[in-house]
Amino acid sequence: MPVARAAVIGAGTMGAEIAQVIAEQGVPVTLKDVSQEFLDRGMRHVESVFRRRVERGRLSEDEAQAKLALIAPTLSYDDLADADFVIEAVPERLTLKEAVFAELNRACKPEAILATNTSSLPVSRLAKASGRPSNVVGFHFFNPASVMKLIEVIVTPETSEETVQTTLEFGRRIGKLPVPVKECPGFLVNRILFAAMAEGMRYREENDATIASVDAALRERAGVPMGPFQLADLVGLDVLLEIGDVLVAAYGERFATPPILRELVAQGRHGAKNGGGFYSREGTPIDLGTKPADPERLVQQVTAASFLEAFRCLDEGIVTDPKDIDVAMQAGAGWATGPIAWADQVGLGAVVALLSALAAKVGPRFTPPERLKSLAEHGGSLRDALPSP
């Protein structure tokens, strides 16, 4: 089904930027919120994004104004009757999102696709609330939506193939890189990214390393834009703690965060958004650790933890193509190299040897899976790790 008109529910920063992305590609879009104040604020944000495009020479003033005119703000669900593709981008509260999807089922035409921008909540629950589960899909943008290229397309067991294909096509049409992902806690990028962050934090705790040395080593040696403590401050320590608790409940202690994270949240230190987390507003790290990190060992552990989670995603069929993992981590997390490309470069035999050595020296969390060892012994590839159709 071609998408002639879209809609976005929620005019916060993320929703406003999603509407801007859609309009910039020439697709009319309705932007809905519950108050005129929120709508006005969202439209001002859209205007600021277009203004930056003009200042950087990417759009003329006339082009920016024409694209801005494609966004129709509204307070009424009734104005969504002709939308073909609706993206929910309200705050991350399950009951609120369920209520929105129930309302969308009433207001939208039967064939309309209802998408959610949730970064962590179960899409299946929203699909059930919609009353039309075959038409519901996750459509997870990364922040800032006006810049980041990746969209995770989260597919539930009830999502129809037509919905998936229309969603992928629409993602490409609005200039993004859509990657289909089978629904699971953490989806794909956050699951692998959190595995890397948790391991970096665990290394610091186990080796009494300073925060600054861990972040610096990973920035300089691992091809990531931020170390785990810098990224934690950016995301929000309270948000990170919530995500960690969800992932621990789903997958076990490999996602456990260090006690200091819970302590800082209890103290009200939530990161950059309130001026204090692992670093102060001025960039000074908290007094934690006394030794410099060993860059080689740290990078080995974080790389190995990232790869192990990526391998589990393959083994569980979370993606249908191993290369999608690298695309997602590069476009969604800013990594220079994805974990699959790394394994292909060094070879599965060397990967298994590294994991075995780390398991002996550091702990059993690095024990190589039997299936991975079998692939390495028999000359298999990571594509062979995918479940049979």
Q: Taking CA 95 as the corner, what is the angle to CA 93 and CA 97, rounded to the nearest 5 degrees?
A: 70
Residue-level length of the chain = 389
Please pick, among 45, 140, 270, 378, the residue that the annotation labels catalytic.
140
Calpha distance 229→61 (Å, rounded): 40
The pair of structure tokens assigned to 253 is 């202690």
Q: Is 134 strand, coil or helix?
A: helix
Q: What is the largest CA-CA distance in the chain?
A: 64
Calpha distance 362→171 (Å, rounded): 42
Q: Put residue 379 in one of left, alpha, beta given phi > 0 → left and psi -120 to 50 → alpha.
A: left
Sign of CA dihedral 233, 306, 296, 226: negative
Q: Taking CA 292 as the corner, what is the angle to CA 289 and CA 297, rounded to the nearest 5 degrees?
A: 110
Q: Is 180 strand, coil or helix?
A: strand
Strands 6-9 and 85-88, sheet pairing = parallel
Residues 6+ apart with CB under 8 A from 147: none
**Quick check: is 378 catalytic?**
no
Q: Taking CA 328 as the corner, what is the angle to CA 298 and CA 237, rounded to the nearest 5 degrees?
A: 55
Positions marked catalytic: 140
